């Protein structure tokens, strides 16, 4: 068995919440920036295929949770910036609560195994 610290795959459906939460706290970001932040926050423990961000961004935009705009990046390059909308903020709160509940439940099961 490998002794290296393993990176986690992204759980299905969780990328949306990560993107939304990141945009909500860090403000408007371009794709690269967003990927950097997500990896920073995860402490480098996530195996993020950065290319998968783009379809996810389009999906969120279709739902009206984020919007995009062309702007200028830090090193003076044309880049597309993504920003969370009011509907997106509401969605973040809702999904965060859902997650908290799920984690709580899962936590109980995990501890059950520990006490035995």
Partner 1 sequence: MLGIWMRIRELFRGTRLDGELDEEVNLHLEMIEEEFRRRGMNQAEARAAARREFGGVALAKEAYRDQRGFPRLEIFVKDARYALRGLRRSPGFTAAAVLSLALGIGANTAIFSLFHTLMLRMLPVAHPEQLISINRTGGWGVGTVSEPLYRQIAGRTDLFSGVIASNRVQKVRFRPRTGDREEYAQREYVSGNYFRVLGVQPVMGRLFSAEDNRVPGGHPLAVLSYDLWRNHFGADPAALGRTVLVDQQPLTVIGVAAPGFYGVELERRAEIWVPFMMSSGQVTSPNMWWLSMIARKRPEVSRQRAQAALSVLMRQHLTALYGPRYDAAFREKALGQRLEVREGALGLSMLREHFGKPLGVLLALVALVLLAACTNVANLLLARGAARQKETALRLSLGATRTRLVRQALTETLLIAAAGSALGIGLAAWGVRAVAGFLPEQAGNPFSNAPDLALLAFTIAISAGSALLFGLGPALRSTAVHPAAALRSGGADPGRPALRRTLVVAQVAFSVVLVALAFLFGHSLLAMRSVDLGFRNQNVIAFSLDFPRLWNGNAQQAQDRLMQTLAATPGIYSVSGAFPPPVMIGSSSDASIRVPGSERTVTRPADVDVTYVAPRYFETIGATLKGRDFDRNDTATGPKVAVVNEAFVREFLPGESHPESRWLSFDDDRPEGGERTGIVGVVHDIRQNGIQDKIVARVYVPLSQHKVSYPPDILVRTALPLPAVRAVVRRELPQLGAGLVVADVTTIRQRIDDSIFEQHLLATLGGFFGVLALVLAAVGLYGVMSYGMARRAGEIGIRMALGAKRVDVVGMVLGDAMVLFSGGLILGFPLEWAAALAVHSLLFDIAAADPVAFGGTGAVLIAVALGAAFLPARRAASIDPMRALRHE
Contact residues toward partner 1 (CB under 8 A) are: 30-32, 35, 49-52, 54-55, 58-59, 61-64, 73, 77-80
What residues are paired with 68 via a beta bridge? 82
Pick the closer one to partner 1 by CB: 36 or 100: 36
Helices (H) and strands (E) in the chain, counts: 4, 3
Nearest approach in angstroms of CB 8 to partner 1 is: 16
Residue 20: CB atoms within 10 A of its CB come to 22
Query: What token pair was written down for 92?
Result: 């973040």
Nearest approach in angstroms of CB 61 to partner 1 is: 7
Nearest approach in angstroms of CB 106 to partner 1 is: 28
Pick the closer one to partner 1 by CB: 77 or 108: 77
88 by Cβ neighbours in 10 Å (0-12 / 13-18 / 19+) ranks as: buried
Pick the closer one to partner 1 by CB: 45 or 103: 45
Pick the closer one to partner 1 by CB: 24 or 56: 56
Interatomic CA distance for residues 17 and 21, integer angstroms: 6
């Amino acid at each position: 068995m490998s002794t290296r610290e393993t990176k986690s795959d992204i759980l299905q459906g969780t990328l949306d919440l990560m993107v939304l939460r990141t945009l909500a706290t860090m403000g408007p970001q371009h794709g690269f920036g967003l990927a950097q932040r997500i990896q920073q926050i995860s402490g480098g423990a996530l195996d993020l295929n950065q290319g998968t961000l783009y379809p996810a961004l389009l999906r969120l935009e279709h739902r009206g949770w984020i919007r995009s705009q062309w702007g200028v990046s830090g090193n003076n390059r044309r880049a597309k910036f993504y920003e969370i909308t009011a509907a997106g903020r509401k969605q973040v709160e809702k999904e965060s609560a859902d997650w908290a509940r799920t984690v709580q439940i899962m936590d109980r099961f995990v501890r059950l195994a520990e006490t035995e």
